[in-house]
Amino acid sequence: MSIEADHPQQLRGMLDAAQRAAGLLAARHRGDADGVRTLMASFHDEAALAGGALLLADMALGMLRERSGQSMDECVQHLSVRLENVVTGD
């Protein structure tokens, strides 16, 4: 995987945001509302949260691809179906 960034400081910021996004998900899943609030407040703007979430999703899908042997397109398609099921309740 190649992460494009203008300079090392920008890359460090993206990695930091992805780690905080992962922590936010972990806090949410363990029912830690204070942790969720604290981590959400740590993002200085929506772009930082979005960038971190995008990098986290890319890494997670890459791990799924490696583990499952499926293509990235197949992994994304599977995820899309799961996301749709959240909306429809299926």
Closest alpha carbon to 56 in 85, 26, 77, 35: 26
Cα–Cα distance for residue pair 20/52, rounded to 1 Å = 8
The whole-number pLDDT of residue 4 equals 59
Report the predicted TM-score, pTM, of the whole model to 2 decimal places.
0.80
Domain coordinates in residue numbering, the chain:
8-88
18-47: pLDDT as tens digits: 999 999 999 999 999 999 999 999 999 999
39-77: pLDDT as tens digits: 999 999 999 999 999 999 999 999 999 999 999 999 999
Q: Alpha-carbon torsion 14, 49, 39, 63, what sign?
A: negative
